[in-house]
Amino acid sequence: MESAPLHAAPPTPPVHVAIIMDGNGRWAKARGLPRTAGHKRGAEAVRRTVEAAREMGVSYLTLYAFSSENWKRPTGEVTDLMGLLRLYLRNEVANLHKNGIRLRVIGDRSRLSRDINALIDESEAKTANNTALTLVLALSYGGRQEITDAARRLACDVAMERLDPDSIDEDALAARLYTADIPDPDLLIRTSGEKRISNFLLWQSAYAEFVFTDVLWPDFDRTHLEDAIRDFHGRERRYGNAPG
């Protein structure tokens, strides 16, 4: 008698997974629903993905939640997205904390409202000592802006004679990025079939492996995350070195 087939074991996760969550609007349009419905379903996908990443042993999960360019969207849509962000920070942080997940936010917080900044501060402080997973939300974030800000900090340090310009190297600039204490992503995933990184983690993704999937973000789940990680493990990461 033949034995039942064994299920494939979940793949060993990389340390840091970053995701460009794309396709909420297209998901809603395909169903004749308003874009807000897509964003709400996208929030459910965030919950699933965070839980799956923690269970799989991912150490860092960075989600591109709202780009610096997203401020150009219609006012009503921006207002709805900020409302969803408030709900997430008010309702989900307790669950993150219970599951040992640390929350970090990167980006230009000066453009966020005072109450959202207060919620971020409270959430980061509450979860600061958690170690099961670090969830990084990129909010009002742009990669070029981040590098520009880092360069400005370098210039200020030189002007104040705290730094010798001859000592400026890659490490000096990286230490002034929003992600200074976070390892660079090993794997960057983009949903919805688009094949670009849209100003996301430009410096940090220099040697990341990219996986592009046609799945729209509201449909993304643990299976898709596992598939992307299996794809990642099929790559040979050479960091610019010649193949062996």
- Binding site for substrate, by residue number, is 23-27, 35, 39, 67-69, 71, 73, 190, 196-198
Strand boundaries in the chain, DSSP class E: 16-20, 60-67, 101-106, 133-141, 187-190, 209-212
Q: Is 70 a residue of the active site?
A: yes
Cβ distance 25 to 35 under 8 Å? yes
Q: Pick out the residues of the known binding site for Mg(2+).
A: 22, 209
What burial class does residue 27 get, using C-beta atoms within 10 Å of its C-beta: 0-12 exposed, 13-18 middle, 19+ buried?
A: buried
DSSP 221: -
Question: In one letter, which amino acid is 112?
Answer: L
Q: Three-state DSSP class for 8?
A: coil
Cβ distance 216 to 23 under 8 Å? yes
Which residue intervals of 18-113 are DSSP H helices? 24-30, 35-56, 75-91, 93-98
Q: Pick out the residues of the known binding site.
A: 22-27, 35, 39, 67-69, 71, 73, 190, 196-198, 209
Question: In one letter, which amino acid is 224?
Answer: H
Q: Return the CA Rg of the chain.
A: 19
Q: Is 181 a residue of the active site?
A: no
DSSP 219: G
Out of 70, 117, 130, 199, pick the active-site residue. Answer: 70
Structure tokens at 131: 């170690």
Q: Annotated catalytic sites, by residue?
A: 22, 70
